Amino acid sequence: MTQTTTVGIGGAAESTDMVLNIGPQHPSTHGVLRLRLVLDGERIGAAEPVIGYMHRGAEKLFEARDYRQIIVLANRHDWLSAFSSELGVVLGVERMLGMEVPERAVWLRTLLAELNRVLNHLMFLGSYPLELGGITPVFHAFREREELQNVMEEVSGGRMHYMFNRVGGLKEDLPAGWLGRARRAVADVRSRMDVFDRLVLGNEIFRGRTRDVGTLAPETVHAYGVSGPLARASGVDFDLRRDEPYLAYGELGDVLRVVTRPEGDCLARFEVLLGQAHNSLDLADACLDRIADLPPGPVNQRLPKVLKAPEGATYTWTENPLGLNGYYLVSKGEKTPYRLKLRSASYNNIQALTELLPGTLVADMVAILGSFFFVVGDIDK
């Protein structure tokens, strides 16, 4: 019979396993996530992610807000990917309405989604080395984020929660001269991205802490519905932007590059994230070129005072920075959704820790957890 001892209320004898709680307040958990670990010495025997500390019932709140108001809820669960998160909701409503969005709005949405992707990735490119003891990269990451935040804030008026998408397009057109400022920001960030190649990937301590650590098998990826950079770092070559194009991605096939690695370890996950950030900057440049060539025109559709979606159901999914986001919208013909179910990337991704952590050392747990690139609000919703 196996005995367990919970740390803090008793001594651990040689014949007992020790239960250790990481979190719900812990620097390596990126927020209020709790990991319940069963330890055999310094090796993890079992791991259980305990979630729900940030749950605010967003899906239920969707049912009490009209189609204009739900956007403010949708962009808050993954606060590092706010533009991409609100985009998925409006795409679903537009599909229900059979609505065509002006071409200018399609390209602007694509541009802003890729800038938002770079912002998301820069946060993890800086914070992951920090969790392993390297403080310098996070300063570089925040400098580059600030450049892009400035142009995103100028165009939308929001710093984190942009609220720039609308059913039928975007809130408003670009400020005068914004395209030039955005182009300069993208060029400036690109010119300094080699810091992460040299300072992080070129660091032997970082490579020693991450190579062959926390290897995620493709079979586990499929079993748990893991997606995004985590899946592609395990050799699962799937990206909705290429495989089921939406927005303007179908016309960007010559620029879009899906970054994959076969190793599936912590190092591969960081390399995929860095490669995707580089490619998103290229996609942003391609969008800027196309928008500059477009004639002036509307960026939204004129909507009725009370917007009602026809009765029915639809499922929309997007390639968010952290993985696949799905939106199952059910309408009864009213001005509010009857049901809007959100499939968030972080929720599925974090479940794979139950398979990945057992057998690893406690010392490697922080390296593995940091390489999973999740946002706790995206798990709990």
Q: Give the pLDDT of the chain (381 residues) as one tens digit per residue.
A: 555 555 554 444 455 678 888 877 766 666 788 889 998 888 989 999 988 888 888 889 999 999 989 998 888 888 899 999 999 999 999 999 999 999 999 999 999 999 999 999 999 999 999 888 889 999 999 999 999 999 999 999 888 889 999 999 999 999 999 999 999 999 999 999 999 988 898 889 999 999 999 899 999 999 999 999 999 999 999 999 999 999 999 999 999 999 999 999 999 999 999 999 999 999 999 999 999 999 988 999 998 889 999 999 999 999 999 999 999 999 999 999 999 999 999 999 999 999 999 999 988 898 999 898 888 888 887
SS3 labels along the chain: CCEEEECCCCCCCCCEEEEEEECCCEHHHCECCEEEEEEECCEEEEEEEECCCCCCCHHHHHCCCCCCCHHHHHCCCCCCCHHHHHHHHHHHHHHHHCCCCCHHHHHHHHHHHHHHHHHHHHHHHHHHHHHCCCCHHHHHHHHHHHHHHHHHHHHHCCCCCCCCEECCEECCCCCCCHHHHHHHHHHHHHHHCHHHHHHHHCCHHHHHHHCCCCCCCHHHHHHHCCCCHHHHCCCCCCCHHHHCCCCCHHHCCCCCCCCCCCCCCHHHHHHHHHHHHHHHHHHHHHHHHHHHHCCCCCCCCCCCCCCCCCCEEEEEEEEECCEEEEEEEEECCCCCCCEEEEECHHHHHHHCHHHHCCCCEHHHHHHHHHCCCCCHHHHHC
Q: Which residues pair with 20 in a beta bridge?
A: 37
